[in-house]
């Protein structure tokens, strides 16, 4: 099983621009990546990080500035189709992941294992089927279910809040403070963020 963590290293996390400067967004991206790398490593796997630009990272990092679809589809072609192997892809903006949630992703024996993200994304997957390919645009979880069906692959989904919680928007930051004590949570606390209680869901405020 090859496990790849793709990450956008050049001007990352633009939807956090209202609360973080460009330098802070890069630093926070590195902190989230560190949490993912730590969880994968603690689960007994060796992650390969592929970034669009250089980033600080404790795992082997390759710079590849292609978009996510051509990058991942090339990996699927070389590792699964031609190499007869299995590929796992785990996004880098999942600071809530734990070794156990990584194990749950890797456990099922299906041709394609999908971990849905909030809002229709696909935050992680495992592929053992030579014809499955990705299309991350739009409601990708729907497209990935359909692509898997179209090629006759068996599909299962992992029901994990930790794998589902990608951090894209200011409203997502509360999840990091509520459910993690890793590098991303530490970074947010050091940057002055704390939980803020409103009538509805908990949000964050900054000093």
Task: List contacts with a second copy (CB under 8 A).
Answer: 15, 98, 100-101, 104, 116, 118-121, 138-139, 141-142, 159-165, 168-169, 174-175, 178-179, 195, 197, 200-203
Question: Tokens 């599909």 sit at which residue?
Answer: 155
Q: Are strands 87-90 and 61-63 parallel, antiparallel or unpaired?
A: unpaired
H/E stretch holding 16: none
- The least CB distance from residue 159 to a second copy, in Å, is 5
The smaller minimum CB distance to a second copy, of residues 8 and 165, is found at 165
- The least CB distance from residue 67 to a second copy, in Å, is 15
The smaller minimum CB distance to a second copy, of residues 51 and 101, is found at 101
* DSSP letters for 43-75: TT--EEEEESS----SS-EEE--S-HHHHHHHH
- The least CB distance from residue 56 to a second copy, in Å, is 27
- d(CA 116, CA 154) in angstroms, rounded, equals 16
- d(CA 150, CA 131) in angstroms, rounded, equals 9
- d(CA 119, CA 155) in angstroms, rounded, equals 20
- The least CB distance from residue 174 to a second copy, in Å, is 7
The smaller minimum CB distance to a second copy, of residues 43 and 163, is found at 163
The smaller minimum CB distance to a second copy, of residues 44 and 120, is found at 120
Is residue 177 within 8 Å of 189, Cβ to Cβ? yes
The smaller minimum CB distance to a second copy, of residues 6 and 121, is found at 121
The smaller minimum CB distance to a second copy, of residues 79 and 158, is found at 158
Burial of residue 91 (number of CB atoms within 10 Å: 0-12, 13-18, 19+): buried
- The least CB distance from residue 161 to a second copy, in Å, is 4
- The least CB distance from residue 120 to a second copy, in Å, is 3
Q: Which tokens in the block code for residue 68? A: 């996510």
Q: Which tokens in the block code for residue 119? A: 């809002």
- d(CA 163, CA 146) in angstroms, rounded, equals 21
């Amino acid at each position: 099983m090859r496990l790849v963590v793709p990450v956008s290293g050049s001007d990352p996390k633009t939807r956090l621009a209202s609360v973080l400067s460009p330098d802070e967004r890069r630093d926070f991206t590195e902190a989230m990546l560190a949490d993912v790398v730590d969880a994968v490593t603690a689960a007994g796997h060796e992650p390969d990080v592929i970034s669009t630009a250089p980033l600080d990272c404790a795992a082997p990092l390759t710079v590849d500035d292609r978009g996510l679809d051509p990058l991942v589809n090339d990996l699927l072609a070389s590792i699964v189709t031609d190499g007869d192997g299995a590929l796992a892809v785990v996004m880098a903006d999942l600071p809530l992941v734990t070794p156990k949630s990584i194990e749950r992703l890797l456990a099922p024996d299906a041709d394609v294992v999908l971990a849905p993200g909030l809002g229709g994304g696909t935050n992680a997957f495992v592929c053992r089927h030579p014809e499955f390919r990705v299309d991350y645009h739009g409601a990708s979880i729907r497209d990935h279910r359909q692509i898997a069906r179209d090629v006759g692959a068996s599909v299962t989904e992992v029901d994990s809040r930790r794998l589902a919680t990608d951090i894209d928007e200011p409203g997502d930051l509360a999840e990091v403070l509520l459910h993690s004590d890793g590098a991303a949570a530490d970074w947010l606390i050091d940057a002055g963020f704390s939980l803020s209680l409103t009538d509805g869901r908990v949000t964050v405020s900054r000093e």
